[in-house]
Amino acid sequence: MRDLFSILKNDSNAAHRVMATILENGLESKTLIYGYEIIHCTGEEQFYRRYLDEIADVRITGVYEIGGREVYCEVMEETPNLIICGAGHVGAACIKAASNLDMHIICIEDRQDYAELAKSLGSHEVICGDYASVLDGIEGGESVYFLVATRAHAFDQVCLEHILSKKFAYVGMLGSPGKINTVKAGLAASGINEERFALVHTPVGLDISASTPEEIAIAILAEIISVKNTGGVITRTFSHEQLDAIASDAGKPLLATVIRKIMSSPRDPGTKMVVTSDGEKWGTIGGGMAEHQALLIAREHLEDPDFVTEVIRVGDAESSSDGKVCGGVIDVLFERIQ
């Protein structure tokens, strides 16, 4: 199964992807499908090929009855990239606040000392260099979110000239009305029309009367979250940290994935937690009693050399129904990664 996670870690494929797992305790059977092609399979390949079209057509993560068997189908997307141009007061505050989100943060800065600051605040990647040159090498995409917060109008304009030629989910620019008009005029002079500039969120952030850099950062990230989570089913896959943890673990880590919400769980199917062979946890499946139970179960399975896979319901239905305990009730698929 490690080969499958190596594929995911190194993946840059933008095709529709589904990872399917037959839900039978003790059966290691998982396949990864890109479009209508099986990329990797750990067992039951004949079954997956027979029902390939049906699985590939799944658009909502969940458990399906396919060929008389229960199959968990996870529609996969990349971890969103948040690209912040500038690590000044607001850019730095955004990096710090976003470090708690399920987004891969990339900071671009042309000043070495500010680049070092961005790294210390939690940016996963920091690229120190000329904005134009760096952005030339940055790919856009449907899961890419840009924030322009440099120290000068000219740099903001350069950033937007390069960003607006790409595909993106969101682009916002920090600035006063005067700055916005100046940059807009400069972009028009460089050939970027008003319709394209209208895609830029500016003034940036939700209107919460924010005044400090920290408050402005919250307003900006709230707007980004709103854009990200609006208009369809939100499907999440492995974070960079989870894939790194799996790759670096010399043992046989456990993967715990939410496959069903039974009662009022804060997290949806597809949410996952990796527990490495030393018992360390990467990711959360919702907190509360449900996650506590799942973590205990995962650590118990880590001690069992014969464990392969099992679906277990966790949480307290009685307490969840009357609001006493958070975390809800969920079905969790536990799998050994070997």
Total domain count, the chain: 2
- Give 214's Cβ-side CA count (13 Å radius): 1
Between CA 259 and CA 20 the distance in angstroms is: 11
The dihedral built from the CA positions of residue 108, 113, 118 and 122, taken in this order, carries a sign that is positive
pLDDT higher than threshold 80 for residue 235: no
71 and 161 in a single domain? The answer is no
**pLDDT 10s digits, 175-233:** 999 999 999 999 999 999 889 999 999 999 999 999 999 999 999 999 999 998 885 54
Instruction: Tell me the CATH number at 195.
Output: 3.40.50.720
106 and 214 in a single domain? The answer is yes
**pLDDT 10s digits, 50-70:** 999 999 999 889 999 999 999
Residue 239: band (very low, low, confident or very high) from pLDDT cuts 50, 70, 90: confident
Q: CA nearest 9: which of 44, 46, 40?
A: 40
Span 41-46, average pLDDT: 94
260 and 330 in a single domain? The answer is yes
Q: Which residue has the higher pLDDT, 128 or 229?
A: 128
Question: Which residues span the domain enclosing 86?
Answer: 81-228
For residues 223-236, one letter each, b for 16 or more C-beta atoms within 10 angstroms of the residue's C-beta and e for the rest, the string is bbbeebeeeeeebb
Q: CA nearest 126: which of 155, 104, 142?
A: 104
Between CA 153 and CA 183 the distance in angstroms is: 6
Q: Which residue has the higher pLDDT, 328 or 282?
A: 282
Q: Which of 183, 208, 228 is the last residue of a domain?
A: 228
Structure tokens at 22: 């037959």
Cis amide prior to 213 (ω within 30 degrees):
no
pLDDT at 266: 76
Between CA 79 and CA 73 the distance in angstroms is: 18
Residue 30: helix, strand or coil by DSSP?
strand
Residue 245: helix, strand or coil by DSSP?
helix
Residue 228: helix, strand or coil by DSSP?
helix
pLDDT at 320: 46
Structure tokens at 256: 């715990």
Q: Give the H/E segment covering residue 145.
A: strand 144-148
168 and 61 in a single domain? The answer is no
pLDDT at 138: 94
93 and 160 in a single domain? The answer is yes
Between CA 100 and CA 287 the distance in angstroms is: 15
116 and 222 in a single domain? The answer is yes
243 and 216 in a single domain? The answer is no
- Is residue 258 within 8 Å of 265, Cβ to Cβ? yes
Span 269-293, average pLDDT: 91
Compute CA 140 distance to the chain's CA centroid, rounded to the nearest angstrom: 15
Q: How far is CA 38 from CA 19, 57, 62, in A?
A: 10, 13, 19
pLDDT higher than threshold 90 for residue 237: no
pLDDT higher than threshold 50 for residue 75: yes
200 and 183 in a single domain? The answer is yes
61 and 115 in a single domain? The answer is no
Lowest mean pLDDT among 129-133, 263-267, 304-308: 263-267
Q: Which of 181, 210, 228 is the last residue of a domain?
A: 228
Between CA 106 and CA 289 the distance in angstroms is: 34
Q: CA nearest 272: which of 256, 254, 288?
A: 256
Residue 7: helix, strand or coil by DSSP?
helix
209 and 185 in a single domain? The answer is yes
- Is residue 72 within 8 Å of 88, Cβ to Cβ? no
**pLDDT 10s digits, 81-122:** 999 999 999 999 999 999 988 889 999 999 999 999 999 999
215 and 90 in a single domain? The answer is yes
175 and 146 in a single domain? The answer is yes
Q: Which of 180, 202, 228 is the last residue of a domain?
A: 228
Largest CA distance in the chain: 67
Span 18-29, average pLDDT: 94
